[in-house]
Amino acid sequence: MFRFFENLVDPYSRYDEADKPPRKLWPFMLGYLQPFRKMLGWTMVFAAVVAAIELWLIWYMGRFVDVLTATDRAEVWQSFAVEFVMVALFILIVRPLIYAIHIALLNNTLVPTLGALVRWRAHRHVLRQSVGWFENDFAGRIANRITQTPTAATEATFQVLDAVSFAIAYVIGSAVLLWGADPRLLIPLVVWLGLYMWLMTWVVKNVGPASKASSDARSEFTGRVVDSYTNINSVKMFAHHDREIDYAKGAIDKTLTTVQKEHRIYSTMDIGLTALNGVLVVVITGWAAWLYINGSASVGIVAAAAALTLRLSAMTGWIMWAVTQLFRNLGIVSEGMETISQPIRLLDSPKAGTLEVHEGDIAIDNLSHHYGKTHGGLDRVNLTIRAGEKVGVVGRSGAGKSTLVKLLLRFYDAEQGRILIDGRDIAEVSQDSLRASIGMVQQDSALLHRSVRDNILYGRPGATEEAMVDAARKAEAHDFILTLEDGEGRKGYDAQVGERGVKLSGGQRQRIALARVMLKDAPILLLDEATSALDSEVEAAIQETLYGMMEGKTVIAIAHRLSTIAQMDRIVVMDHGRIIEDGPHAELLAQGGLYAQLWSRQSGGFLGDDVEAAE
């Protein structure tokens, strides 16, 4: 039975991805609830039926009391046997069946499936964002919003269907029941309901912003601690344990303050609700008793009124809390929307085709990019790289080398100019096909927290085991991989490498990254000091492999150590975002320009840190 309800909605069904999701709460929620529209309708119907059954039971208890008090004991069973049996069968069979369907729709169709659907679609949307988008936020805060928003959205929907729809049906039914007993009993209910709605309105008005503030504070705290954990080596290296504790404490204090404000609202709600419910019980039960004393109501009406008010008193606390949680969860969803609803700004052209690299010519035409500033980045760069040509790129820190690579990979859209590969503007082809045509090894190649096999196969997921191992051998990685074993006892290619590959040395990470790119075998190769993390012996062995891998490919190699690119066909020298020198190694030395100065200072050594923070 459970499987039937669990399979009513497919959380992974196809849908139209929106580049600009709704920025307002209800359109945002309704978009995710679209696949559930039929199930939502049926769930609300069953919630109303459940409420009606509850009220009918209260009414029938009143009738049962009247039957027992107004009928001779010897005649009760003879006169009402069929009715009692039918009611008993309804309570024992029909009522549990209706409740079971209602519960299954909520607990088996809605809650798990909606949570999975929101997580799936939110994660898909966030992964479509550009690299620059991720660089402007905490990874921990993004992850926290992705994880807590689906839960909050599910809980909010659950509250509407389970509590709010039930409460509306119950209050309407209660009014009908009291009207049928004596219309005057409706007066205190209406007065109480007005006061109750006033209290609820006050709570709802205040709890939404308070919940959003506390949710944002929790996300900030998560972002800070994840930042510390991710950079634990730096924390320990600089002995900044206390500094990181204070950094987290600031976020904890903010969270504490916002949560305290939020719970003041809950305390005020509970105190006010207790007082209101006391008035409800005393007034309606007392009025019903007064009507009985004056002969205007039966004992059954008094019993039904008492049972109804006690049930309402118990239920109103649940309803108030449910509504409060509804708007609290909506506040969390609103906070999550600050991430999930951000539009995708780096988009493929509507007519984007697939890039198929046949030659590998690269033409950079009047390219400028300053990250929205007035300086840094690139300034009117023109460069042509012929198919199969190997070009080294050098320059001081902040010269624009990394920006050039990011634009070539289209991590950003250029502010001015264009890049063409085989005559096609990269802005007019799909991003996936562009990046599938480029292999890149960075100076600091982070690995996924997965097995060695998964990391290497990331270059070409469909590759055979033999091809993967061959790539590892070429990268001088196979032998050390066979010696690996993680904490769970997994060995060799099955061993987990830890977050960003922290369980491996820098040289081991670099060799696995090289194996990944070798397996990818893309026609264009970008190398950002690809062997800088290796010791001299391993580097010498891999250099031969790299030169072999470069054959037939167009290569751009960013170099810190100038000796590694001296054998390139050409060397491009950058400074302040522009190309100032271009030519073979010997020719540039003869010119006596910046390259010759750098070579002289370096004496075959290392150029220096190339962190492009200024860009």
Q: Are residues 245 and 333 in the same domain?
A: yes
Tell me the residue type at 345: R
| N-to-C CA span, the chain | 59
Query: For residue range 529-579, what is the model confidence (pLDDT) as tens digits?
Result: 766 656 666 666 667 777 777 888 899 988 777 877 888 899 999 998 999
Measured CA to CA, the distance from residue 363 to residue 340 in angstroms comes to: 36
**pLDDT at residue 161 above 50?**
yes
HEC readout, 257-286: HHHHHHHHHHHHHHHHHHHHHHHHHHHHHH
What pLDDT does 536 receive? 67
Q: Are residues 51 and 97 in the same domain?
A: yes
Give a yes or no: residue 556 inside a domain. yes
Give a yes or no: residue 158 inside a domain. yes
472: CATH: 3.40.50.300
Listed residue (287, 358, 381, 424) closest to 574, CA to CA: 381
Listed residue (206, 309, 195) closest to 267, CA to CA: 206
Measured CA to CA, the distance from residue 530 to residue 510 in angstroms comes to: 7
Give a yes or no: residue 615 inside a domain. no
333: CATH: 1.20.1560.10
Give a yes or no: residue 9 inside a domain. no
- Domain end position, chosen among 285, 310, 340: 340
Give a yes or no: residue 151 inside a domain. yes
Helix (H) or strand (E) holding 579: strand 578-583
Listed residue (97, 116, 115) closest to 1, CA to CA: 97
Give a yes or no: residue 357 inside a domain. no
Is residue 560 within 8 Å of residue 381, measured between CB atoms?
no
State phi, psi for 25 to the nearest 5 degrees.
-60, -55
Q: Are residues 316 and 393 in the same domain?
A: no
Q: Are residues 330 and 372 in the same domain?
A: no
Q: Domain containing 123: what range?
A: 15-340
Q: What percent of the chain has pLDDT over 70?
A: 92
Measured CA to CA, the distance from residue 142 to residue 134 in angstroms comes to: 9
Is residue 532 within 8 Å of residue 509, measured between CB atoms?
no
Residue-averaged pLDDT of the chain: 83
Residue 369's pLDDT band (cuts 50, 70, 90) = very high
- Domain end position, chosen among 281, 307, 340: 340
State phi, psi for 368 to the nearest 5 degrees.
-135, 140
More confident residue, 233 or 498: 498
Q: Are residues 76 and 189 in the same domain?
A: yes
Q: Are residues 321 and 376 in the same domain?
A: no
Query: For residue range 38-87, what is the model confidence (pLDDT) as tens digits?
Result: 888 888 888 888 888 887 887 888 788 888 888 888 888 888 889 989 99
Is residue 402 within 8 Å of residue 574, measured between CB atoms?
no
- Domain end position, chosen among 280, 307, 340: 340
Q: Are residues 232 and 299 in the same domain?
A: yes
573 pairs with which residues across the strands?
394, 581
The total of structural domains in the chain comes to 2
Q: How many CB atoms lie within 10 A of CB 229?
A: 12
Is residue 367 within 8 Å of residue 417, measured between CB atoms?
yes
Tell me the residue type at 83: E
In sign, the C-alpha dihedral spanning 570, 573, 574, 580 is negative
More confident residue, 386 or 167: 386
**pLDDT at residue 290 above 50?**
yes
Question: Quick one: DSSP state of residue 533?
Answer: T
**pLDDT at residue 603 above 60?**
no
Q: Are residues 452 and 308 in the same domain?
A: no
Give a yes or no: residue 143 inside a domain. yes
Q: Which of 172-186, 209-223, 428-442, 598-612 has the lowest mean pLDDT?
A: 598-612
Give a yes or no: residue 5 inside a domain. no
**pLDDT at residue 608 above 70?**
no
Q: Are residues 449 and 501 in the same domain?
A: yes
Measured CA to CA, the distance from residue 174 to residue 56 in angstroms comes to: 10
Listed residue (289, 269, 290, 282) closest to 312, CA to CA: 282
Q: Are residues 414 and 510 in the same domain?
A: yes
**pLDDT at residue 27 above 50?**
yes
What pLDDT does 385 receive? 94
R_g over Cα of the chain: 35
Token digits for 596? 């010759």
Q: Are residues 52 and 107 in the same domain?
A: yes
Q: SS3 of 604, please?
A: coil
Helix (H) or strand (E) holding 51: helix 37-70
Residue 181's pLDDT band (cuts 50, 70, 90) = low
Measured CA to CA, the distance from residue 14 to residue 116 in angstroms comes to: 14
Q: Are residues 284 and 424 in the same domain?
A: no
HEC readout, 442-495: CCCCCECCCEHHHHHHCCCCCCCHHHHHHHHHHCCCHHHHCCCECCCCCEHHHC
